[in-house]
Chain A
Amino acid sequence: MSGEDERKLICDTPDCINNTLLPTCPGCLHGVVARCVCEAIDDLGIQENAIGVVGVGCHAMTAGAVEVDTISTAHGRAPGVATGIKRAYYGEAIVFTFQGDGDLGAIGLGDVLNAVNRGEKLTTIFFNNAGYGNTGGQMGPTTIEGQVTTTSPYGRDPAQSGFPLHMAEMMASLRGCAYSARVGINNLKNYAGARKAVKAAFQKQMDNIGYGFVEFLCTCPPGWKKKPDEAFHWMEKAMMEEYQLGEFKNVDEIT
């Protein structure tokens, strides 16, 4: 082999990516979500006006991969902070939040519902990995029925701790929401759909229409106490059975 002459670049890194090493665990898909968001930002040419807002959780570390101005907030409070930034720049900034399931679906549920209901022109990237990863694998609002976690050691029992929260469908039911989808990144076909969904969610903000929301189904091998491949297959089977992929809302005007 003569080397360089025969090597062809088939996939480059996005312009918007910051090549900081992410402290994510083996088998975690959060870095793939970051790449997907970076590609969407590149495609839309919005890097110079994009500002990222993160809550507390593994998703917050992931934002370090996106080369834009960022701000970290208290747990669950990103939609309010994002509102302040959006209003500070009179709508000119393209503001997105990164939030996990505990951050958005539990402690910050009221914050996001009210931001969407106000019809804020914001975009939320929601990392659903069915539990709290950062604190060691506790039950979260999107933990599925029967799932064993460190705080549901006998499996999540709906009679005792309720039901898995379907955020993408809930967001779609609000009038201030312009776009809502749930996406997977488990294969190339789904990845292409995810990139398209993130672009659509940003486009609703750029066109000043309304809130854009994209839920990513992710893995958490250490939190789930599974090996990376087992975690990947469990996500494809158990999580995708509970959480249907699809576009739940896509409108050009909120009314």
Chain B
Amino acid sequence: MDEKVLLTGNIAAAEGALYAGCRHYFGYPITPQSDVVEYFSAKLPQMGGEFVQSESECTSINMLYGAAACGIRAMTSTSSPGFSLMQEGISHIAAAELPCVIMHVQRGGPGSGSTQTAQMDYNQVVKGGGHGEYRLIVLAPDSVQEIFDFVQLGFYLAEKYRNPALVLTDAIIGQMKEDVELRTIDFGPTPEDRSWALKIHRSPKGKSANVHSAVGIVGIYNEWLARTNEKYENIKRDEVRFQSMFMEDAELAIVAYGSSGRAAKGACKLAREEGLKVGVLRPITLWPFPQPQIEELASRVKKILVVEDNLGQMVEDVRGAVEGRAEVHFMGVFSRHMPDCNGMIFPDTILEEVKKLL
């Protein structure tokens, strides 16, 4: 049995990176993820790594761009307003097709919003956020253990596809404590070719590496578009991940991710105790979105309830997959237990809504 320790989600993210062999971190303090920055600042110097506190999230992501271009495992983390500042750099990293991991602990927006929890950055994270056409591989854990595991998975997928990966949490699961089993997960080999990376001790006679984000200026635009499009299609085909619970005989399905997915699972257990035929589909990859699974779901259940801590973002993707073949209902930020930024959506509130729908 491996070691189990009590950790917050944010610290588990940092430990996940360290267990994945990441020794380079660049970050800037912002609530509710400043403890990630603090943790790396203490740990990395002791482990022979490099920690840099940048002057802005704009520079954090550019430091990450430089480190990722060298073919090493590197990471940054932030929360919503900081994530907005990173969009330019993320667009460049995706254009240059570099592997790296971004940890995003959501808070309320827009603007400076609140420092409390929310799931309001789904569209920004999943649909792009920066300019141009690109995709991030987005993993949405719902427990501290999954945060630890998914940071490692993020590094693996990022290297497998040479594409930035993002682990999306929020103030609830980032700040809560749970037992975590600490171990390095072996996902299998990643591509050995590192010819694209910036190098030292290079033979002057050898071909120099040229990492660039000017895909239509330095490179041939249509080649880039065709290559990345094929990559994205492969990811959509092979990397969809989700959790399904009590779906076999369900008449109503709840679709929710992250902290809301956790609440939905709680509501589902309560419903089953009362004999109600309720199931949960929790998307783990928000991109690639489990669209085929939700399409299939729409032919089996009459009603789908989407729960997310916002005004309705993922629900649009669910409606797109359902295409009118089932009723799609939504509960969001107005179902919080308190009518302000400190509120949260609890399982019993979801259960009440389920009962109204059944």
Which residues of A does B touch, CB under 8 Å? 15-16, 18, 47-49, 51, 53, 67-74, 77, 80-90, 92-93, 110-111, 114, 118
Contacts and interface: CB of A to CB of B under 8 A. Distances in A.
Contact of A48 (B55, B59, B66, B202): B202
Given A83-B52, A84-B67, A87-B67, A71 B62 contact: no
A225 B266 CA distance: 70
B208 A110 contact: no
A174 to B, nearest CB: 13
Contact of B210 (A69, A92, A93): A69
Interface residues of B, number: 39
B66 A85 contact: yes
Interface stretch (B68-76, B120-128, B242-250): B68-76
A43 to B, nearest CB: 15
A47 B59 contact: no
A93 B199 CA distance: 8
A82 B66 contact: yes
Interface stretch (B4-12, B212-220, B221-229, B288-296): B212-220
Given A73-B92, A80-B59, A111-B59, A88 B204 contact: no
A74 B212 contact: no
Contacts of A90: 50
Interface in B27-77: 50, 52, 54-56, 58-59, 62-70, 72, 74
A225 B198 CA distance: 39
B210 A81 contact: no
B89 A85 contact: no
Given A74-B89, A83-B52, A84-B26, 18 more contacts: A48-B203, A49-B201, A53-B66, A69-B202, A71-B66, A71-B198, A72-B212, A73-B92, A81-B69, A82-B66, A83-B63, A85-B67, A88-B24, A88-B70, A89-B200, A110-B56, A114-B54, A114-B59
Contacts of B70: 84-85, 88-89
A88 B212 contact: no
A73 B62 CA distance: 8
Given A70-B208, A74-B88, A80-B54, A48 B200 contact: yes
B63 A80 contact: yes
A67 B208 contact: yes
Contacts of A85: 66-67, 69-70, 198
B209 interface: yes
Interface string B178-210: 000000000000000000001111111000111
